[in-house]
Amino acid sequence: MRYSESTIEDIRMGNDIIDIIGKYTRLSKSGDRYMGLCPFHNESTPSFSVSADKQLYHCFGCGASGNVISFVMQKENYDFVETIKYLADRIHYELPEENYERDYAEKVRVKDILYEIHKKAARHFYDNLNSDMGAHARRYLDGREIIKAVRNKYGIGYAEGKNDIYNFLKKEGYEDDIIEKSGLVVPDKNGGFRDKFYDRVMFPIFDIRGRIVAFGGRTLEEGKKTAKYLNSPETPIFSKSYNLYSINYARASGMKEFILVEGYMDVISLYQNGFCNAVAALGTAFNDNHAGVLKKYANSVIILFDSDEAGTKAALNAINVLVKNGIKAKVLQVKDAKDPDEYLKKFGREAFAQLLKTAKSYVLFQIESKKKKYDMSDMTQKIDFTKEAAKMIKNFDSEIEREVYIEETSKMSGVSKEAIGDEVKKLSDNTLLNMNQKRYMKEKYKTNISGVDDARQSLLYIMATNRNIYNNLREYIKKEELMEDIYIKLFDMIKEKYKSGEEIYPAELVSCFENIDEQNTISKIFMLRYEFNDIASSEKAVNDQVKLIKKVYYESILAGNDDIGTVQKIIKEKNNLEKLHISLRNES
């Protein structure tokens, strides 16, 4: 939260709810409440009620509910922070310059300098490459047949090491601490710094907006004990688990299908041959964050990794990530070349374009990879493989897809299409049975929901408004039994308040939630629940509520659990519920 709880509470208390709402609708006193026409929906008889006592409002017509902050948020369409500023202004309350704002401004400042440093460093590396110093680096690039235009497009440069970049940045006027933050230097033994990249061809890494955020360096010291590729470390402007190399150019290509490759050279080589939609995850496995970035620009991806074991493993991982994130995945492996770069050099652009069209469904790729693990000349292993394949195929709802994969599996295994088809069907029937069972359990559990939601709210209300009842109750309730995040949070807040000996103001609890729906729910708890007149009826109600809450919680665990130990334990606890009786008569 941007402002401290006490600041928010000062501002909330300084703005009387009757005052504020009175500006939007005429309120008249009725018993211990004020009533008026609802400012949120059209009506002719008042159903909008405001409690001066609780500093909360509730509309019995449309369900709007909240405190003074919720009211302004909804009525003026402000977010939480804007509302706090508006209400502070109204009572001439000077908001402290919170740490958050200072920290934020400082972070932005540091990032801006880092962008600037990277831009200047890239220019410097580029100049190095084209000077005498860069002669052997140019020879390397010539050997890789990267043309001048593409070298410039990707801003390729050369890092000499030997404090070249450190001295350059010092001369440009940067302090040690920000230079260190850039990741271009590392501390040395003598308490100074040395360049991180030594005698390497430098590939600037761009973000989606085309800003240089990091570098990758390829060593020129063949055969030495140094990493072939070295990337910048994580910095305030670079996170390798989010960054995809060349995503800026792939996005600009306007194509909806991207090619996912393994390294810089693959991307660059593809670009040079007119395939501008290739990207690579650098120095880390393709993950959900990468998929999240990709998804904004592409709906389909061709995975083009090396065909060795490591490449196959990486491809299987990428498939899982892409499919999980709803991106279509196809797989391609180059033949007669070790990577796409070599393939393009050997066979040319046309052949590669043809090859792209043969990318196969990821399912076939998965089935084929499975096959490699079985000895197909062994009868039992052949059967096991076919069963494994059938398991994968059954996940498809479409008959057409199933048929295609069944046919391919039949070709691979020599088992008839009919036999595989029967296996798939058998497996699907079992799954269906399972699904129906789960659905039934869920329905059963849902019928309890409306009642249990009431019970949770009522229990929280009674605990928040009656310290003695809370003391009698608290050891019987585990917060996870409340199941919904919002109730768990409220329960924790009530606990905290009592622990620190503070009084509980309903409207204060409401403004601990920034989201308007949550404010609404919490506010309703305090506006709509009623207290019982005598201890006997309170006790009965509380016991019924606790039992229902626990019962639903246990059932939800049983519905999704196959672990026999857990199931037995929960069933035992559930049976013990019958005997549970909580007394509220202890004074504390």
Residue type for 250, please? A
Structure tokens at 178: 């920000």
- Minimum gap (Å) between residue 63 Cβ and Zn ion: 7
- Minimum gap (Å) between residue 318 Cβ and Zn ion: 51
Stretch that binds Zn ion, among 56-64, 101-109, 513-521, 537-545 (CB under 5 A): 56-64
Q: Which is nearer to Zn ion, 41 or 439 (CB)?
A: 41
Q: Which is nearer to Zn ion, 13 or 516 (CB)?
A: 516
**35: contact with Zn ion by CB under 5 A:** no
Binding residue (CB under 5 A) for Zn ion from 8, 38, 261, 329? 38
**27: contact with Zn ion by CB under 5 A:** no
Q: Which is nearer to Zn ion, 64 or 276 (CB)?
A: 64
Stretch that binds Zn ion, among 27-35, 52-60, 84-92, 496-504 (CB under 5 A): 52-60
Structure tokens at 535: 């201890």
Stretch that binds Zn ion, among 39-47, 217-225, 367-375, 502-510 (CB under 5 A): 39-47
- Minimum gap (Å) between residue 41 Cβ and Zn ion: 4
Residue type for 282, please? L
Contacts 24+ apart (CB under 8 A), 76-79: none
- CA–CA separation, 87 vs 79, rounded Å? 12
CB atoms within 10 A of CB 243: 26
Q: Which is nearer to Zn ion, 59 or 259 (CB)?
A: 59
- CA–CA separation, 97 vs 18, rounded Å? 29
443 backbone dihedrals φ, ψ, rounded to 5°: -60, -45
Stretch that binds Zn ion, among 34-42, 138-146, 328-336, 467-475 (CB under 5 A): 34-42
- Minimum gap (Å) between residue 321 Cβ and Zn ion: 46
CB atoms within 10 A of CB 173: 6
Q: Which is nearer to Zn ion, 64 or 84 (CB)?
A: 64
- Minimum gap (Å) between residue 21 Cβ and Zn ion: 12
**39: contact with Zn ion by CB under 5 A:** no
CB atoms within 10 A of CB 457: 21
Q: What is the largest CA-CA distance in the chain?
A: 94
**37: contact with Zn ion by CB under 5 A:** no
Residues 57-76 that bind Zn ion (CB under 5 A): 59, 61-62, 64
Q: Which residues of 521-551 are buried (b: 16+ CB within 10 A; e: fewer)?
A: bbbbbbbebeebeeeeebbebbbebbbbbbb
- CA–CA separation, 94 vs 109, rounded Å? 26
Q: Which is nearer to Zn ion, 52 or 62 (CB)?
A: 62
Compute the chain's Rg from CA coordinates: 33
- Minimum gap (Å) between residue 72 Cβ and Zn ion: 16
Q: Secondary structure of 418-472 in the HEC alphabet?
A: HHHHHHHHHHHHHHHHHHHHHHHHHHHHHHCHHHHHHHHHHHHHHHHHCHHHHHH
- CA–CA separation, 69 vs 76, rounded Å? 11
Which H or E run includes 101? helix 99-129
- Minimum gap (Å) between residue 293 Cβ and Zn ion: 42
Q: How many residues bind Zn ion (CB under 5 A)?
A: 7
What is the DSSP-derived secondary structure letter of residue 235?
B
Q: Which is nearer to Zn ion, 49 or 235 (CB)?
A: 49
Burial of 368: CB neighbours in 10 Å, binned 0-12, 13-18, 19+:
middle
Binding residue (CB under 5 A) for Zn ion from 40, 198, 374, 445? 40
Stretch that binds Zn ion, among 54-62, 308-316, 463-471, 529-537 (CB under 5 A): 54-62
Q: Which is nearer to Zn ion, 64 or 250 (CB)?
A: 64
- CA–CA separation, 321 vs 300, rounded Å? 13
Q: Which is nearer to Zn ion, 50 or 319 (CB)?
A: 50
Please report, as ranges, the residues that interact with Zn ion according to CB under 5 A: 38, 40-41, 59, 61-62, 64
